[in-house]
Amino acid sequence: MSDAPPLIPIEAVPPSAVAVTDAAPPPAAPAVAQGKRKPVLPGGWFHGTGRRKTAVARVRIRPGEGKFLVNDRVPDQYFSEIRDRNDIAAPLQVTGLTGKLDVLVSVGGGGISGQAGAIKLGLARALVRYEPAHERALRDGNFLTRDSREVERKKYGRSGARRRFQFSKR
């Protein structure tokens, strides 16, 4: 009647004889071994983006001789306030990597103080990508927290966000 081979009970077939054809191949080994860090950008660069108010900073770091450039200028030429210069250098000082990394920053928008805050956050994020072990020190120093304060919008019927026009009874 049918040309199919006779059925064999499963108990009679040894497990090594059964071929599994629908099984997925074993997952490939990860490209980077545990504990190793992998550059995110070509050329060995690690990057981080920082924002503060309306300023946005794109920070790239890699091992080097300690060159630090903000929009193709040294920080002393770009930032006139000592407070702003100290802000952008603080993540490197906390991690002990001052002078060991090349830092290139492209920053725009906002004002000088907002740009310094954006660079600080972007640099801290790049340092965590470079060496994840530094995250605890940077988080304790409050360098990885985004300052979410923004300018409140102006409302109609008022001279500013909350200030009212001058009222005169007579």
Range 46-140 classified under CATH 3.40.50.10090: no
pLDDT at position 28, please?
Answer: 47
**Which residues of the chain carry a pLDDT beneath 70?**
1-39
pLDDT at position 15, please?
Answer: 57
Q: How many Cα atoms within 13 Å fall on the side-chain side of residue 52?
A: 23
pLDDT at position 110, please?
Answer: 95
Question: Cα–Cα distance between 88 and 81 in angstroms, integer?
Answer: 11
pLDDT at position 29, please?
Answer: 41
* Domain limits, the chain: 46-140
Beta bridge partners of residue 68, listed in sequence order: 103
pLDDT at position 100, please?
Answer: 94
- Tokens at residue 118, please? 């954006």
Beta bridge partners of residue 105, listed in sequence order: 59, 70
pLDDT 10s digits, 118-155? 999 999 999 999 999 999 999 999 999 999 999 999 99
pLDDT at position 33, please?
Answer: 41
**Which residues, in sequence order, are CB contacts of 97 under 8 Å at separation 6+?**
127
pLDDT at position 43, please?
Answer: 84
